[in-house]
Each structure stands twice: as C-alpha cells, then as structure tokens.
Chain A
Amino acid sequence: ETGVTQTPRHLVMGMTNKKSLKCEQHLGHNAMYWYKQSAKKPLELMFVYNFKEQTENNSVPSRFSPECPNSSHLFLHLHTLQPEDSALYLCASSQAAGGTGELFFGEGSRLTVL
C-alpha cells in the first residue's frame, strides 16, 4: 500500500469508447504525474501537475486528456484510442517542493484497446 490508489486496475475498451482512469493519493502531496509503460519499453512521462496546474505535457496526443480537480485526485480521460495505446498507465505523487524528492506510485491501470 503506497497511499496512491488507481482505478480501474484493468480496462478493455474499443477505439470508439470514452473512458477515464482515476488516481487518488492520501499522502498530502501537491504534485501528481501520469506515466505510460508499453510492453518492453521504459516508463514514459506523460503529464505533470503541480498544485493542480499542468506544468508538463510530454507531447501526448490529444486523445489523452488529463484533469486534476484538486491536489488529491488526478484523472486521465481517454477517447478514440488506438490499439498501440494499450499499456500500463501509472499514476504517481510527490511533494511539490522540498522533501526527499521521492515519488510514490500506484499499482497502475492496465489498458487494452481493441
């Protein structure tokens, strides 16, 4: 238990569906992150939020739409995805400033796009 909870753990969707991934952290952190991990590839940073403001978009296609309504919650809205978007999507949180710089990761949401 890392204090970062992701739901759903598994998701199967068609290319025309709209779905959302949810991340919630109970650690009092102010920075939240989305990473993508495709098969046999390193983790790729997608988005960074710092105090609810998006501070980084790592050239992610617009079919991925993040939302951070508050410092404890982070969503990734998915629409018209492609099969190559199938991957493990990981959420993480950290203190926004100071601290040890440690990131706490959730267990991930495994997405399959048919």
Chain B
Amino acid sequence: DAKTTQPTSMDCAEGRAANLPCNHSTISGNEYVYWYRQIHSQGPQYIIHGLKNNETNEMASLIITEDRKSSTLILPHATLRDTAVYYCIVRAVAGFQKLVFGTGTRLLVSP
C-alpha cells in the first residue's frame, strides 16, 4: 500500500470548515483513499473513501486532485465533537482488507 503524509496537528474554530490535507504521491491506479478518525480512547470510525472523483456524505467531503497524488478531507462546519485524530490511508479494494494506520492528524476544534 502507498505511504501517506499528513500534518501532525491542526486547529479549527467551531463552526468553520476544517480542511485536512493528505499527500499520497506513490498511489497506484487501483488504490483508494480512505479516511478514518479516532476520538480519544475509542475505536476508529470510517468517514469516507474515494478513487478519483470527489465524494460527499453526511459526515464530510473528500477532494482528490486530478493526478491523485493528494487529497483533502473537508468537515464543512466543525463542532467540538469533531476533535479527533484523522487518518488518511491508501489501499486497494480487493479481497479482505487490512488497514495500516500512520500517525494521522490531530484536529483540535475550539470554541
């Protein structure tokens, strides 16, 4: 699986959009970009994933650059409950899947 690079930490004001970047310059054509988050002392939670088109669900939007070498997770209106570690993971979807987690981005949403 391709390696990803994320900033160690980010801050965001409550109610503002949180834009979390991820670099995955070695991504292969069959690899998807997945985002998970982990709120303190809980299990990771799936947020969204995509291949090359932008994706949106009730939690967030995922913007993938045309060359697929980077992506941005957007939380449109961050709340205090969005404070968590956000993980960007790249992997192929074939057969059963193991996730390899990096260190992620620690997002702190403040009032």
Residues of A within 8 A of B (CB): 2, 4, 30-31, 33, 35, 42-43, 45, 48, 50, 55-56, 88, 90, 92, 94-97, 100-108, 110
Q: Is B91 an interface residue (CB 8 A)?
A: yes
Interface residues of B in 63-111 (CB under 8 A from A): 91, 93, 95-104
Q: Contact between B101 and A43 (Cβ–Cβ < 8 Å)?
A: yes
Question: Out of A101, A104, A110, which one reaches B93, CB within 8 Å?
Answer: A101
Q: Contact between B95 and A103 (Cβ–Cβ < 8 Å)?
A: no
Total number of residue pairs linking A and B with CB closer than 8 Å? 63
Complex CA distance for A11 and B90, rounded to whole angstroms? 33
Complex CA distance for A43 and B36, rounded to whole angstroms? 12
Q: How far is the CB of A96 from chain B (nearest CB, A)?
A: 5
Q: Contact between A56 and B98 (Cβ–Cβ < 8 Å)?
A: yes
Chain A residues with Cβ below 8 Å from B36 are 103
Q: Contact between A48 and B96 (Cβ–Cβ < 8 Å)?
A: yes
Question: Out of B42, B43, B46, B98, which one reaches A102, CB within 8 Å?
Answer: B46
Residues of B within 8 A of A (CB): 32, 34, 36, 41-46, 49, 91, 93, 95-104
Q: Contact between A48 and B98 (Cβ–Cβ < 8 Å)?
A: yes
Q: Contact between B103 and A45 (Cβ–Cβ < 8 Å)?
A: no
> Which of B41, B96, B104 is packed against the most chain A CB atoms within 10 Å?
B96
Q: A31-B96, A108-B42 are in contact. List 15 more A-B contacts (CB 8 A).
A: A30-B96, A42-B101, A43-B44, A48-B98, A96-B96, A97-B95, A101-B49, A101-B91, A102-B49, A103-B36, A103-B46, A105-B43, A106-B43, A107-B42, A108-B43
Question: Out of A2, A50, A88, which one reaches B41, CB within 8 Å?
Answer: A88
Q: Contact between B96 and A107 (Cβ–Cβ < 8 Å)?
A: no
Complex CA distance for A88 and B85, rounded to whole angstroms? 15
Question: Out of B93, B95, B98, B104, which one reaches A45, CB within 8 Å?
Answer: B98
Q: How far is the CB of B3 from chain A (nearest CB, A)?
A: 13
Closest 7 CB pairs of A and B: A105-B43, A31-B96, A43-B101, A101-B93, A101-B97, A96-B96, A102-B46
